[in-house]
Amino acid sequence: GGLFVEAWGWRSVFVINVPIGIVTAILGARLLDESREAKGSRLPDLVGTAAVTIAVVLVALGIVQSDEWGWRDLRTLGALAGGLALVGAFVARCATVPNPVLALELFSERGFRWANLAQLLYGTGFTIMFFGNVQFLGDVWGYSPVRTGLAMAPGPLVVFLLAPRFGKLAGRIGQRAILIPGGLVYAAAAVMLLSRAGAAPDYLGVWLPAVLWSGVGVAMIVPLLTSAAVAGLPSDRFATGSAVNAALRNLGQTLGVAIFVAFVGGAAHADLLAHHRLAWWLVAAAGLAVTATSWWLPSSAEWLERSRAAVPHPIAKLDYEGT
């Protein structure tokens, strides 16, 4: 990404998705088995889709513009109130239409309910962290885009190496036993940055240990929140359940960008470090929130009992490394 930005500008990074999308579509058509729910319409409720989309836009607008408009400005309050009102209308509509965007009955399953709440909170914190760290390296430490990319790379590399192993472990002991400490590890990485990162660059002494530790936390969280969300659902609802989980993660990412821009975007250069430290506090809070919400997931004993009682179905062929 850094190479693309330096060579052709920031818009060029979106070209990366084109070959990935083409290859995924071709391989998916050839290799994936289609599955359909026993009931339901092909097309979800378009009115509900429009309502939730506008709601997210309004809430994000209110957060992003709060620094310029002020939190007490009628425009800020109107955007936030309008967005929240549309969220309420969206939920009410999902409870009444035959083909809702959001299948509310899925939230009666405890694991689905708490895993999705954790996913929303984690998605918000992760985006504040990842987006914020890139901005910190460039704006505070003066790194070039390529150097920023290289500085960020060790964290995702740790995730790549460890996530499959934590996934396999979760297959034996359940997700809760890993997610609870995973949130703490993730929060600790943010605390390392907010307590040690200063205006003077110190990659080996400060940045590298923090991003490696953060990668461990992400590896303990990402695959397990997805699997925990659908583990208790019937097999014909896996697609719907995983789609809801992905949508909430994306919603969290949208809110994360909005929150970061509101707190850091308008800061003067002399105040950037203080604002980034506030952002890292929010990341730490998100990690603690993952730990707190994961406490309500099925325990290891419940997970093992459920696994023994489960009726085999095609999804059972996938291990957690695949997830």
Q: 83-97, 132-146, 210-224, 236-250 — which is least confidently predicted? A: 236-250
d(C-alpha 93, C-alpha 98), whole Å: 10
Domain 110-323 has CATH 1.20.1250.20: yes
Please report, for residues 62, 69, 128, 258, the alpha-carbon distance to residue 65 in angstroms, rounded to integers and kept in the order given. 5, 6, 17, 9
The answer to whether residues 143 and 202 touch, using CB atoms and an 8 Å cutoff, is no
Q: Give dist(CA 89, CA 136) in Å, integer.
A: 39
State the pLDDT confidence band at 39, using cuts at 50, 70 and 90. Answer: low
Q: Which residues contact 5 (CB under 8 A, 6 or more apart)?
A: 12, 13, 145
Burial class, 15, CB count within 10 angstroms (exposed 0-12 / middle 13-18 / buried 19+): exposed
**245-265: average pLDDT:** 90
Mean pLDDT of 103-116: 92
Residues 182 and 217 sit within 8 Å (Cβ to Cβ): yes
Top-confidence residue, 89 or 43? 89
| pLDDT, mean of residues 281-288 | 97
pLDDT at 35 over 70: no
Over 70: is that where the pLDDT of 262 sits?
A: yes
Retrieve residue 172's tokens: 């034996």
What's the mean pLDDT in 253-267?
88
Q: Over the chain, what is the mean pLDDT? A: 89
How far is it, in rounded angstroms, from Cα 145 to Cα 211? 17
